[in-house]
Structure 1
Amino acid sequence: MSVINPVETPIWKRYFWRNTASNYIRTITRLLLGVILFRVLFSGLSEAEFGFWSLLWSLFGYGILLDFGFGFTAQKAVAEKSATGEWEELSRLLSTMLWTFVGLATLLGLFFLAIRGLFLGAVEVPDAEYSMYSLSYFIFFAGLALTFPFGLFPEVLRGLQRIDIANWLNTGSVVLNFIGISLALYFEASFPVIVLVSVVTTLLPNVGALFVAMRRLPEVSLSPRLFEWRVVKSQLGFSIAAYLITFSNLLMAKSDQAVLGFTMGVGVIAAYQAGYKVAEMLNLFTRQLQDALSPAAAQMNASGDNAGLRELLLKTSKLTFLITTPLYVLCAVYLEPLIQLLTGLDQIERDTFLVGQILLFAVFSSQLTNSCAKRILMMCGYEKKLLGLSLLDGLSNLCISIVLALSFGIVGVAIGTLIPTLLVGWLLVLPMALRYLDLGVLKYTKFILSGATPLLLFVPCLCATIYFIPMPAEGGFVALALRGGLSSIPAFAWIALKVRKLM
């Protein structure tokens, strides 16, 4: 009988920093190389080729909806069953998911092959280059069909709490994609070759995840003989809830543009997007902190470790507060030059500025209330309640935005996002998590604020920077980076020293 060391460091703590660091490296790499590659493709492809390329990859983005929540279910199941040693059950579950995805991928490939002529006719590709676009179409959707079932295995790595491995595979893929497409354009390769390079480099990290995951799960088999729909039915409620939450979040993210388009016309969307973009970047950057929470919570829930769950919520919420607060304040103070940097606009309209401030505060509030609590609750049997809250948030957002858009324009739409975010987060999601983990509001608040000393250092540094080094009228990346660094580096250095004890 194996003996468990009671003082052994929990697995989520052992991998927390490498998972978080790899998240940021992956995100920054994708952002930087993505911006460069966009310009390279924009200048290197013809107008028709670039439009076709953009259309294909926009369709690929909706592939997340074909997952039906099974990817998130696989992550949860791997975390739980690897903790309890239910290898036979896990083998049946993963085998059923994999071969279900293989069947769906086959149908998906046949469907897009069947409509190839209709699709190419609908988008009006040039007649003289019809065969080239037809071949590119075939390569892209054949690659999509292959990528789809392999997408299960990065989720398996997440369930094993080795998000860092999935991130390194993804980062390597991004670099290879950038190098491959750049070389293909440099040597004037044909458009189908460029599509092939892009598809292959997209497939590679998922295939790599398959081999790494199975080496770490030697007890698991993926034989088609283990296909058993019954084991998936037991997880179906969670899968459907996860799918609907993803679907509602996707719709909610796009609903503001739809409200503006139908109430005020498409001409105002650009002004709204200019303000929205900074908030989107803040959300993208700060949410990398919480990526490891879901598998950790699933494993603790399976083993009945309520004390561990409380510690997980308290410590990650505190870290989120310490890091998100100075980033939010910096974005709010330097919002105008940030918008100018991202959009290239010389002058920022008052409404665009207000939209940016409102949405920044909505993201900040959501990080404090939803980011950690939702991930933990989702893995602890609260998926149906969270689905209800997501639908409430989405419908409230839509209704309030429509009403306020008619009176206040784009600012009203932003307020329509802020109000349900505040109410649902502070009055429903966070209290639900505290009740489940038997944490009092005062105890939670005291713990979160107990490490706020670095923020007291941040405030005078920011004030001194604003007073002694005012932002130049021309703005620019270097000017923003200098002022952001002078304001926040002392505080973040202090945080870095303290979080080693915290985690």
Structure 2
Amino acid sequence: MTRKQKLILNTASSLIHQLITVVCGIILPRAYIASFGSEVNGLVASITQFISIITFLELGVGAVVQAALYFPLAKKETEEISRIIISSNRFFKKIGGILILYSLVLFFLYPMLIDTTHSFFYTGSLVAILALSAFAQYFFGISYQLLLQADQLAFVALLTNTVTVIINTIVVLLLIKYEKSVQIVKLVSSMIFLIRPIIFQIVVKKRYRLQLSIPLHVEPIKQKWNGIAQHIASVVLNSTDIVVLTVFSSFSLVSVYSVYYLVVNSIKKILISFTSGFQALFGNMLSNNELSKLNQAFEKFEWIMHTFVTIFFTCTGILIIPFIIVYTATITDYEYVYPVFGILLVVAHALYCIRLPYNQLVLAAGHFKETQTSAIIEASINIVISIVLVQAYGLIGVALGTLVAMLYRTVYLAWYLSKNIIKRTLRHFYLHIVVDAISVVTMVCATQWITLSSISFFAWFVMALKVVLICSIVSFLVNAVFYPRLLKAIPKGIMR
């Protein structure tokens, strides 16, 4: 199988996975709110964020492990691949022990520190069950999943994950229908996700002749701790808003935040799905020193992502409040309509997606240590601004913190990439930003006449179709003026 075929399979599988995850992710929270109330939904969202440190096992060291695998996979060096997997397994076992202790501490401290109407056992049991769920999704079998991703076989993991997400959604809805407690629902859900590592292990054993008993004389995974530092900063960045709201506000407001975040995060995941195969592709090109092909591929990838981000997030900005109105129409225990907050959150996560091409190439090149400081600064900016502004501005305050932080690192990564990896001027990045701004303003003006005809999902869907169609046409016309060569080349490339 060629690397182009792998890229197509990975991208298609990732898109299917994210679309199904988005649909299931929209269905389940509404079911939770309707059955258990806004406070319980906010409590679950808050605990999940406190436990989310567990995810750095996949996205911190995981990114470093994946980068370390590109060269030996390209050269088919089985012994070196085996050494990396051995080192990865050992490291994750050590970190797993630390995280078990962290979960135990959280089990005892969280119910005592948080002001809630529920009992110690009720809250503590949720902490334990959600910790188990996180382990099931992010810890077991992670080394084998990273190996498949680095070898451009992410579609195996993605298809497995898609099936488990569908099964989980069906089972959870049935449990809620039969009025099971939130603890039982979450416990059964965590058991379902244990299917994944079993399948990963079977596939890896059949495909690779790993020698997992050979001795390690030298550490094969470089910059391991730099990867951890970067992802801890990333976890802090993504967790700050809900943690700050938990400490300085109420669980009902956390529930409001989680519903808006559900929308923007769903769009973000769909866009990330387009990038899933490119990091491994770029890593393979860098390993083979194909710099000319790398620059050509990156130019197209960068343009596609800027174009998609402006279309997707402009549509999201226009449609998010009508969606919230429809989505929460039957929820009367708290107000969910906050237009300014919604727009700020949309812009913040649009900035995150704009930087995806630059971040993917930095990760493929393995520049973790070099970009570590910027990740720490980004997280610090979000913490400081959110804490300072949350008392006076609530949701808007934490959204502003996220927006400023993501703006800083997006510009930084574009600058770092231009200076250290692909060696080009920042003029390319600035031109994309100008074109993005022109596209957004034009799209918003062109869709001002479109409104929600009635409070129903069908009416919202009709409105969404109109908005997406007009925004797509506007984007095509703007790019025809500024990027006519790329606009002609991309369809031909897709057809080939």
Which band: TM-score by shorter chain?
A: 0.7 to 0.9
1:226 and 2:218 correspond: no
Query: Take 2:144 and 2:259, find their aligned partners in 1: how far apart are those partners?
Result: 36
Q: Any conservation in 1 of the 2:13–2:159 contact (CA below 8 Å)?
A: yes
Q: What's the counterpart of residue 21 of structure 2? A: 30
Q: Any conservation in 1 of the 2:63–2:363 contact (CA below 8 Å)?
A: no
Q: What's the counterpart of residue 501 of structure 1? A: 492
CA separation of 1:491/1:234 partners in 2, compared to 1, >3 Å: closer, same or farther? same
Deviations 1:409-435 (A, max 9, x none): 543443333234324322x21022122
1:292 and 2:277 correspond: yes
Query: Take 2:313 and 2:108, find their aligned partners in 1: how far apart are those partners?
Result: 48
1:431 and 2:419 correspond: no
Q: What's the counterpart of residue 344 of structure 2? A: 358
1:352 partner amino acid: Y
Q: What's the counterpart of residue 192 of structure 2? A: 201
Residue 476 (structure 1) aligned to one of 456, 460, 471: 456
Query: Take 1:256 and 1:40, find their aligned partners in 2: how far apart are those partners?
Result: 23
Q: Any conservation in 2 of the 1:79–1:161 contact (CA below 8 Å)?
A: no
Q: What's the counterpart of residue 293 of structure 2? A: 308
1:171 and 2:162 correspond: yes
Could you tell me how far 1:438 is from its partner in structure 2? Answer: 1.9
Could you tell me how far 1:52 is from its partner in structure 2? Answer: 11
Could you tell me how far 1:102 is from its partner in structure 2? Answer: 5.0
Q: Any conservation in 1 of the 2:227–2:368 contact (CA below 8 Å)?
A: yes
SS of alignment partner, residue 193 of structure 2:
helix
1:89 partner amino acid: E
Could you tell me how far 1:323 is from its partner in structure 2? Answer: 1.4
Could you tell me how far 1:398 is from its partner in structure 2? Answer: 2.6
Could you tell me how far 1:360 is from its partner in structure 2? Answer: 1.8
Name structure 1 gaps, 5 residues minimum.
1-8
Query: Take 1:149 and 1:59, find their aligned partners in 2: how far apart are those partners?
Result: 20
SS of alignment partner, residue 174 of structure 1:
helix
Query: Take 1:350 and 1:115, find their aligned partners in 2: how far apart are those partners?
Result: 33
2:380 partner amino acid: L
SS of alignment partner, residue 437 of structure 1:
coil
Query: Take 1:46 and 1:333, find their aligned partners in 2: how far apart are those partners?
Result: 28
Query: Take 2:33 and 2:399, find their aligned partners in 1: how far apart are those partners?
Result: 32
Residue 245 (structure 1) aligned to one of 216, 223, 230: 230
Q: After the TM superposition, which residues 317-356 of structure 1 pair with which residues of structure 2 at under 5 Å, given as runs?
A: 317-344=302-329, 352-356=338-342
Q: What's the counterpart of residue 385 of structure 1? A: 370
Which range is displaced more, 192-201 or 82-91? 192-201
Q: Any conservation in 1 of the 2:42–2:254 contact (CA below 8 Å)?
A: no
Query: Take 2:391 and 2:28, find their aligned partners in 1: how far apart are those partners?
Result: 39
Query: Take 1:399 and 1:54, find their aligned partners in 2: how far apart are those partners?
Result: 22
Q: Any conservation in 2 of the 1:275–1:353 contact (CA below 8 Å)?
A: no
Q: Any conservation in 2 of the 1:140–1:196 contact (CA below 8 Å)?
A: no
TM normalised by structure 2 equals 0.76
Q: What's the counterpart of residue 204 of structure 2? A: 213
Q: After the TM superposition, which residues 2-401 of structure 1 pair with which residues of structure 2 at under 5 Å, given as runs?
A: 11=3, 13-37=4-28, 61-66=52-57, 69-102=60-93, 124-125=120-121, 144=135, 148-180=139-171, 197-218=188-209, 220-221=210-211, 223=212, 225-228=213-216, 230-231=217-218, 233-237=219-223, 239-260=224-245, 276-344=261-329, 352-368=338-354, 370-401=355-386
Deviations 1:308-351 (A, max 9, x none): 332332121111122121122222233421332344479x9999
Q: Any conservation in 1 of the 2:43–2:251 contact (CA below 8 Å)?
A: no
TM normalised by structure 1 equals 0.75
SS of alignment partner, residue 226 of structure 1:
coil
Name structure 2 gaps, 5 residues minimum.
113-118, 480-486
Could you tell me how far 1:502 is from its partner in structure 2? Answer: 4.0
Query: Take 2:33 and 2:391, find their aligned partners in 1: how far apart are those partners?
Result: 37
Could you tell me how far 1:170 is from its partner in structure 2? Answer: 0.6
Query: Take 1:440 and 1:240, find their aligned partners in 2: how far apart are those partners?
Result: 31
Query: Take 2:23 and 2:137, find their aligned partners in 1: how far apart are those partners?
Result: 27
Residue 488 (structure 1) aligned to one of 462, 468, 490: 468
CA separation of 1:168/1:350 partners in 2, compared to 1, >3 Å: closer, same or farther? closer
Q: Any conservation in 2 of the 1:79–1:295 contact (CA below 8 Å)?
A: yes
Q: What's the counterpart of residue 483 of structure 2? A: none
Could you tell me how far 1:157 is from its partner in structure 2? Answer: 1.1
1:483 partner amino acid: M
Computing the radius of gyration over CA atoms, which structure comes out larger, 1 or 2? 1
Q: Any conservation in 2 of the 1:78–1:156 contact (CA below 8 Å)?
A: yes
CA separation of 1:303/1:464 partners in 2, compared to 1, >3 Å: closer, same or farther? closer
Q: Any conservation in 2 of the 1:102–1:149 contact (CA below 8 Å)?
A: no
Deviations 1:31-72 (A, max 9, x none): 33345455667788999x999998997776443245593322
CA separation of 1:275/1:85 partners in 2, compared to 1, >3 Å: closer, same or farther? closer
Query: Take 1:142 and 1:356, find their aligned partners in 2: how far apart are those partners?
Result: 29
Query: Take 1:98 and 1:464, find their aligned partners in 2: how far apart are those partners?
Result: 53
Could you tell me how far 1:476 is from its partner in structure 2? Answer: 3.4
1:226 partner amino acid: I
Query: Take 2:388 and 2:42, find their aligned partners in 1: how far apart are those partners?
Result: 35
2:195 partner amino acid: L
CA separation of 1:260/1:55 partners in 2, compared to 1, >3 Å: closer, same or farther? closer
Higher relative contact order (CA 8 A, sep 6+): 2
- Identity percentage of aligned residues: 18
Deviations 1:94-149 (A, max 9, x none): 1232255456657877x6999999799986448xxx9xx89x97999599489834
CA separation of 1:266/1:165 partners in 2, compared to 1, >3 Å: closer, same or farther? closer
Q: Any conservation in 2 of the 1:282–1:363 contact (CA below 8 Å)?
A: no
Query: Take 2:107 and 2:395, find their aligned partners in 1: how far apart are those partners?
Result: 41
Could you tell me how far 1:162 is from its partner in structure 2? Answer: 1.5
Query: Take 1:404 and 1:46, find their aligned partners in 2: how far apart are those partners?
Result: 28
Could you tell me how far 1:404 is from its partner in structure 2? Answer: 4.7
Q: Any conservation in 1 of the 2:58–2:138 contact (CA below 8 Å)?
A: no
2:165 partner amino acid: V
Aligned residues: 472
Q: Any conservation in 1 of the 2:11–2:273 contact (CA below 8 Å)?
A: yes
Q: Any conservation in 2 of the 1:274–1:352 contact (CA below 8 Å)?
A: no
1:486 partner amino acid: K
Which range is displaced more, 375-384 or 70-79? 70-79
